[in-house]
Amino acid sequence: MINKLTIRTPNDMHVHFRDNDLLSLVVPQTDRYFNYCIVMPNLIPPITNQEMAIRYLNRIKKHIKKGLKPLMTFYLNEKIKIDDMIKAYKNKNIFALKLYPKGATTNSEMGVKNLENIFKILSSMEENNIPLLIHGEDTDKNIDIFDREKSFIDKYLFKIIREFPNLRIVLEHITTSDAVHFVKENKNIAATITPHHLASNRNDMLVGGIRPHLYCLPILKRRNHQEALIKIATSGNKKFFLGTDSAPHDIKLKENDCGCAGVFNTVNSIEILTQIFDQQNSLKNLENFVSNNSANFYNLQQNESTITLIKMDMPINFPKSLKKNNVILKIYKPNFPVFWKIKK
Ligand code: NCD
Ligand code: ZN
């Protein structure tokens, strides 16, 4: 039995830092556990030009002590100026662009309604090798919320890869076996998977009472989809890697008549993942999923530093929340015990 494991420091290829007061609460957590991270641009207003990206990065940097390397993104919509995008990418002020279908999720009102309107931008991204990150959900109000990911793939993703075969794409926070299959079978596309979509399914959210802290988008799916995600994540397949999609909202906005979507999981994500990989007898692939695969796909240097995980005799007691002034962020908790702990 393995009870100690040393791996390269993880990368978080999808994280929401928000802004202002929340930064001081959230950024230090990612800084503790990760080397590279890709920072989502869905602020109000969203990050849509080089100047905004630089200023946002500077606000984030004030809270970094250990050496976290944030990689910035633009929020892709009709407002993007192609010249500014190319400059920002060449100057390394942005790393990728994020596509949100209009109305898909938190702060996506400025998202894209009609894909054809951004074809010129996609074409320039393809030419300049700039990655496209996609929130893959069809927001047509007639589509059932549990079918939105599959519908997006069928209606839009096939079209995007046909039009732009050399565009590097990451399908973010995938939740279905349909997405696993699509990413496996097509070229130039990878996917991020979150800890909570590996650890939880819709029964965890809805049976025996509704648990607002498990509500996120794309919504948790049924168990067979969860199993497909676990299988591919623990397989070592190079096209799948960690993006926590850690998305903090104050407790008042989660426990609400109309609660916000988003799970805050930065604090315990690596330990939860280690537990899942251990259960699958796949600890040897943990480093691939949390660190190597993303570095490979994005041509980043492999992290030189390492972390060590220890298997304890008793389950870990994670903190329940983070607090500052009157903000409370409830920390994600799976419904199984976690025995692995990061060595301090
Ligand atoms: C994210 C957020 O709150 O910004 N919410 C979520 O449920 N994942 C947005 C997103 O990534 O969809
Ligand atoms: Zn997200």
pLDDT in tens, 296-320: 999 999 999 999 999 999 999 999 9
Compute, in angstroms, the gap from residue 194 CA to the centroid of ligand 1.
12
Q: What share of the chain in percent tops pLDDT 70? A: 100
245 catalytic, yes or no?
yes
Residue among 245, 257, 278, 313 flagged as catalytic = 245
Compute, in angstroms, the gap from residue 108 CA to the centroid of ligand 1.
9
* Candidate from 15, 98, 106 with most ligand 1 atoms within 8 A of CB, to mutate: 106
Q: What share of the chain in percent tops pLDDT 90? A: 96
Compute, in angstroms, the gap from residue 50 CA to the centroid of ligand 1.
23
Name residue 292's amino acid. N
Surrounding ion ligand 2 within 5 Å at CB are 245
Render pLDDT for 59-100 as a digit per residue (tens, 0 to 9).
999 999 999 999 999 999 999 999 999 999 999 999 999 999
Nearest alpha carbon, ligand 1 atom 11: 245
pLDDT band at 291 (very low <50, low <70, confident <90, very high): very high
pLDDT of residue 317: 96
Ligand 1 pocket, Cβ-based, cut-off 6 angstroms: 16, 42, 105-107, 135, 216-217, 245, 247, 261-262
Q: Which ligand is nearest to the CA of 43?
A: 1
Compute, in angstroms, the gap from residue 20 CA to the centroid of ligand 1.
18
| pLDDT above 90 for 124 | yes
> What is the extent of the structural domain holding 162?
4-342
The CATH code of the domain that includes 333 is 3.20.20.140
Ligand 1 atom closest to the Cα of residue 16 is: 4
Q: Per residue, what are the HEC states of the chain?
A: CCCEEEEECCCEEEECCCCCHHHHHHHHHHHHHCCEEEECCCCCCCCCCHHHHHHHHHHHHCCCCCCCEEECEEEECCCCCHHHHHHHHHCCCCCEEEECECCCCCCCCCCECCHHHHHHHHHHHHHHCCCEEECCCCCCCCCCHHHHHHHHHHHHHHHHHHHCCCCCEEECCCCCHHHHHHHHHCCCEEEEECHHHHHCCHHHHHCCCCCHHHCCCCCCCCHHHHHHHHHHHCCCCCCEEECCCECCCCHHHHCCCCCCCCECCHHHHHHHHHHHHHHCCCHHHHHHHHHHHHHHHCCCCCCCCEEEEEECCCCCCCCCEEEECCEEEECCCCCCCCCEEECC
pLDDT of residue 104: 86
Nearest alpha carbon, ligand 1 atom 4: 106
| pLDDT above 90 for 1 | no
Domain count, the chain: 1
Ligand 1 atom closest to the Cα of residue 42 is: 4
Segment 171-197 shows an average pLDDT of 98
CA dihedral 321, 322, 323, 327 (to 10 degrees): -80
pLDDT averaged over every residue in the chain: 97
| pLDDT above 90 for 108 | no
Stronger pLDDT, 79 or 199, i.e. the higher one: 199
* Cα 249 to Cα 179: distance, rounded to the nearest angstrom: 27
pLDDT of residue 107: 86
141 by Cβ neighbours in 10 Å (0-12 / 13-18 / 19+) ranks as: exposed
Look up the pTM and report it. Answer: 0.98
Render pLDDT for 16-40 as a digit per residue (tens, 0 to 9).
999 999 999 999 999 999 999 999 9
Compute, in angstroms, the gap from residue 246 CA to the centroid of ligand 2.
7
